[in-house]
Amino acid sequence: MIKIYHNPRCRKSREGLEVLEQSGQDFEVIKYLDKIPTKDELNEIIGYLGISPIELVRKNEAIWKEHYKGKELSDAEIVAAMVKHPKLIERPIVINGKKAVIGRPAEKINTLL
């Protein structure tokens, strides 16, 4: 089952959702600000993406700039920051099986379909 970690208030996330809707495939929408991923779930997603945790962080968010920017953080501390402040998680994330992409631009989602 395809999953999209989605923030309805984000234009890029809505564009990613539209790609999935147009694909005609079944998918699950996870509003990650309401159902915050656990540390284990985030680590699994990061593994599927094949990136380091810092690459999943929205570094222009005020929360990041105020509390974390310029600090030496371990991967575990970065994941903990995203769990504590899910607005820091880049979006949308689309997962199909054990593969995932950050849907920026939305066309990247097509690589999973």
Residues with a known catalytic role = 10
CA angle 76, 79, 83 (to 5 degrees): 135
Cβ neighbors of 12 (< 8 A, separation 6 or more) are 91, 92, 103, 104, 105, 106
Amino acid present at 63: I
Position of tokens 């054990």?
98
